[in-house]
């Protein structure tokens, strides 16, 4: 039976100080089958406390989502905000080597969380945003380092179809599959809609991702912006954007997908208050689609 999880990233953010202790109250109000733990780098020093808190609450954490900026450290480039623009600069070989080393050490913390909390799957951004797929062949090659580490720990590392700026997610996923024929993916409807690719994954040239079982997990979220609209990137609840979920799930069933789902729709406001009702409606809507 398909399971529906809630991303902790939908609950915990800067407005509520990413306080994982809030899960004690929130978990009692949410009608989901478990949680996908979105890791923040600010949690690294508190990893022991985080593990203890989740074990005390007896929360089910089948999936861990690696800290997103890990992938940016694979890209060999720096990006920053300046006068409303995002310029970037190539790293020197020395900077690149240091950056990759930092990513490996940080990944070890993410992997430890998965092992300690009993997660069998991890979401990984092989690329991540504005410049991180500029040298996609480099990212794909380095993905193997993290994949091997996860395999040794008995954890399935899944590459997500995250937004990019040089190519597009489906193109990058195809390139990764050529390098790793047994690669596993997580498919996100908001990320695909950002690139206008939500239904493209079911086209004859891409349908293999589902039909051959490469997609092992789904993120179900809505999006209301235009194609590659970097100014409008909010993660919305089901039905609040223009993703055609009816058509998507119809094709999904034809492909025989039988995996699990995570809802990531941002549920906290500027004061950090979580809209539990909205998330429970998302879970209910997803159950209807299934």
Q: Which residues of the chain have pLDDT under 70?
A: 79-87
| Overall residue count recorded for the chain in this entry | 290
**Whose CA is closest to 75, among 125, 129, 110, 127?**
127
Q: What phi, psi does 187 have (nearest 5°)?
A: -110, 125
Q: What angle do CA 117, 129, 211 make, to 5 degrees?
A: 65
What's domain 4-289's superfamily in CATH?
A: Divalent-metal-dependent TIM barrel enzymes (3.20.20.150)
Q: What angle do CA 176, 177, 179 make, to 5 degrees?
A: 65
pLDDT of residue 12: 98
**Whether 66 contacts 121, CB under 8 Å:** no
DSSP class of 290: -
Domain spans of the chain, in order of start: 4-289
**Whether 121 contacts 62, CB under 8 Å:** yes
pLDDT of residue 86: 65
DSSP class of 244: -
CA distance 151 to 157: 8
Q: Of all residues in the chain, what percent carry a pLDDT higher than 90?
A: 84
Decide: residue 229, CB within 10 A, 0-12 exposed, 13-18 middle, 19+ buried.
exposed
* Per-position DSSP letters for 43-68, written without gaps between them: GGGGHHHHHHHHHHHT----EEE--G
pLDDT of residue 81: 61
User: Strand locations in the chain, DSSP E?
Assistant: 4-7, 34-38, 63-65, 77-79, 88-90, 121-124, 156-160, 184-188, 215-220, 260-263
**Whether 241 contacts 223, CB under 8 Å:** yes
**Whose CA is closest to 176, among 161, 154, 197, 192?**
161
**Whether 135 contacts 171, CB under 8 Å:** no
Query: pLDDT tens across 68-96, in order?
Result: 988 888 877 776 666 666 667 788 888 88
**Whether 157 contacts 146, CB under 8 Å:** yes
Pairing mode of beta strands 184-188, 4-7? unpaired
DSSP class of 126: S
pLDDT of residue 130: 80
Pair of tokens at residue 148:
């091997």
pLDDT of residue 214: 98
């Amino acid at each position: 039976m398909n399971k529906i999880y809630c991303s902790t990233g939908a609950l915990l953010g800067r407005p509520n100080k990413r306080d994982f202790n809030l899960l004690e109250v929130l978990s009692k109000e949410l009608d989901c089958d478990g949680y996908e733990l979105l890791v923040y780098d600010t949690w690294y020093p508190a990893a022991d406390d985080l593990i203890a808190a989740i074990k005390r609450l007896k929360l089910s954490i089948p999936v861990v989502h690696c800290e997103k900026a890990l992938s940016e450290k694979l890209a060999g480039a720096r990006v920053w905000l300046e006068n409303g623009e995002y310029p970037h600069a190539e790293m020197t070989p020395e900077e690149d080597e240091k950056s990759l080393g930092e990513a490996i050490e940080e990944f070890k913390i993410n992997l430890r969380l998965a092992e300690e909390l009993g997660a069998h799957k991890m979401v990984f951004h092989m690329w991540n945003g504005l410049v991180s797929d500029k040298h996609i062949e480099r990212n794909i090659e380095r993905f193997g380092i993290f994949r091997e580490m996860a395999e040794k720990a008995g954890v399935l590392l899944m590459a997500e179809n995250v937004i990019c700026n040089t190519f597009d997610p489906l193109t990058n996923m195809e390139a990764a599959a050529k390098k790793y024929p047994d690669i596993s993916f997580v498919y996100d409807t908001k990320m695909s809609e950002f690139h206008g690719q939500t239904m493209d994954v079911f086209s004859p040239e891409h349908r293999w991702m589902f039909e051959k079982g490469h997609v092992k997990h789904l993120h179900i979220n809505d999006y209301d912006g235009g194609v590659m609209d970097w100014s409008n990137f909010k993660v919305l609840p089901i039905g609040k954007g223009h993703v055609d979920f009816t058509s998507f799930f119809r094709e999904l069933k034809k492909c025989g997908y039988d995996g699990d789902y995570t809802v990531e729709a941002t549920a906290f406001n500027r004061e950090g208050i979580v809209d539990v009702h909205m998330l429970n409606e998302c879970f209910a809507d997803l159950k209807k689609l299934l």
